[in-house]
């Protein structure tokens, strides 16, 4: 069958308060205090924000924290600090930004959104958010990772905490399906509702760490195809020649930090393997 490559693949510094003491001829001593700039608070885990999917490629977002009971598209699940030598995030390489957010992995994300131990890919994604240039110049050195839910080509608006939404909806609602046979340009993701048309993502594997160079198209294609052909046998639906689809990163996607090899199989084929296990559970 055809296989296509993926072309789609984003401490507050406080100036020390200076005190100048001036000794006068008179016995009195006058102390003049210079106020320090207000310290910006580190983003809080559990804070919610409202921004669009384009933020993924923009490094930063000026969106303010909101109450999670109101409409929002993102919820912070991890925070960290950047070294002063990191420099303005807008000028940092994708590899440097990846290295600063290695803690933002799928396991941590899944645990936060009440899906601990999940191995099947989901529509929950992680967005790394860095200070804007203005915030960096003001001394802000935080970095955070937000949990976002993708539906179609957009981020989903929620009005509750992510974990509460998962518990209320059931974890299968968050399975990642394409509306029809996938391809490298179609990155839509929806709940899996139509076994006749949907393809479900069954694996998403990192092909390279933050400091690795693009190993070449033929190399990533070969590695991804090997992974997907093996996994397809697990979800073969009793077929001797199970269908599967592999999507791998391009050179451009790799440079932008998108380094996953993704595997999909027809939902009907997947259901034949999974449904009996679910029924007997």
pLDDT digits (tens, 9 = 90+) for 114-143: 999 999 999 999 999 999 999 999 999 999
- What percentage of the chain reaches a pLDDT higher than 90? 69
Residue ranges of alpha helices (H) inside 101-207 are 106-112, 133-137, 162-169
Given a cut of 60, whether residue 37 has pLDDT beyond it is no
Answer whether 115's CB lies under 8 Å from 62's CB. Answer: no
Higher-confidence position of 29 and 199: 199
Given a cut of 70, whether residue 5 has pLDDT beyond it is no
User: What pLDDT was estimated at residue 186?
Assistant: 64
* Bridge partners, 149 (sequence order): 124
* Banded model confidence at residue 183, pLDDT cuts 50, 70, 90: confident
Q: What is the mean pLDDT of residues 8-18?
A: 31
Alpha-carbon distance 215 to 25, whole Å?
74
* Banded model confidence at residue 275, pLDDT cuts 50, 70, 90: low
Alpha-carbon distance 125 to 105, whole Å?
10
**Ramachandran bin of 128, using left for φ above 0, alpha for ψ from -120 to 50, beta for the remaining angles:** beta
Q: What is the mean pLDDT of residues 26-38?
A: 37
Mean pLDDT of the chain: 84
The 10s digit of each residue's pLDDT in 47-102 is 999 999 999 888 999 999 999 999 999 999 999 999 999 999 999 998 899 999 99
Rg (CA), the chain: 24
User: What pLDDT was estimated at residue 6?
Assistant: 39
Q: Token pair for residue 143?
A: 């970095």
The 10s digit of each residue's pLDDT in 204-222 is 999 988 888 999 999 999 9
Alpha-carbon distance 145 to 43, whole Å?
10
Given a cut of 60, whether residue 280 has pLDDT beyond it is no
- Show the CA angle centred on residue 96, arms to residues 95 and 98, nearest 5°: 65
User: What pLDDT was estimated at residue 255?
Assistant: 86
User: What pLDDT was estimated at residue 4?
Assistant: 40
User: What pLDDT was estimated at residue 256?
Assistant: 83
Given a cut of 60, whether residue 232 has pLDDT beyond it is yes
User: What pLDDT was estimated at residue 163?
Assistant: 98
Burial level of 215, CB count in 10 A (0-12/13-18/19+)? middle
Alpha-carbon distance 245 to 190, whole Å?
17
Residue ranges of alpha helices (H) inside the chain are 94-100, 106-112, 133-137, 162-169, 217-234, 251-255, 267-280
């Amino acid at each position: 069958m055809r296989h296509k490559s993926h072309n789609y693949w984003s401490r507050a510094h406080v100036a020390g308060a200076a005190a100048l003491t001036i000794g006068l001829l008179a016995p009195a001593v006058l102390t003049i205090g210079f106020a320090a700039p207000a310290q910006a608070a580190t983003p809080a885990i559990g804070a919610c924000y409202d921004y669009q999917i384009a933020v993924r490629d923009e490094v930063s977002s000026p969106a303010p924290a909101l109450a999670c009971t109101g409409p929002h598209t993102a919820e912070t699940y991890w925070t960290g600090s950047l070294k002063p030598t990191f420099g303005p995030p807008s000028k940092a390489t994708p590899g440097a930004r990846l290295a600063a957010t290695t803690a933002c992995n799928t396991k941590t994300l899944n645990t936060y959104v009440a899906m601990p131990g999940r191995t099947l890919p989901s529509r929950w994604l992680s967005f790394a958010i860095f200070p804007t240039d203005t915030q960096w110049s003001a001394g802000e050195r935080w970095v955070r990772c937000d949990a976002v839910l993708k539906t179609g080509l957009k981020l989903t608006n929620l009005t509750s905490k992510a974990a509460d939404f998962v518990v209320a909806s059931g974890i299968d609602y968050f399975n990642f399906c394409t509306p029809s046979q996938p391809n490298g340009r179609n990155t839509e993701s929806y709940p899996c509702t139509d076994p006749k048309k949907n393809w479900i993502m069954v694996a998403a594997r990192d092909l390279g760490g933050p400091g690795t160079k693009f190993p070449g198209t033929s190399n990533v294609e070969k590695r991804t195809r090997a992974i997907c052909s093996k996994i397809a046998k697990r979800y073969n639906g009793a077929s001797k020649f199970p269908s599967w689809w592999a999507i791998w990163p391009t050179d451009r996607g790799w440079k932008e930090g998108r380094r996953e090899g993704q595997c999909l199989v027809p939902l009907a084929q997947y259901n034949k393997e999974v449904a009996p296990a679910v029924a007997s559970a």
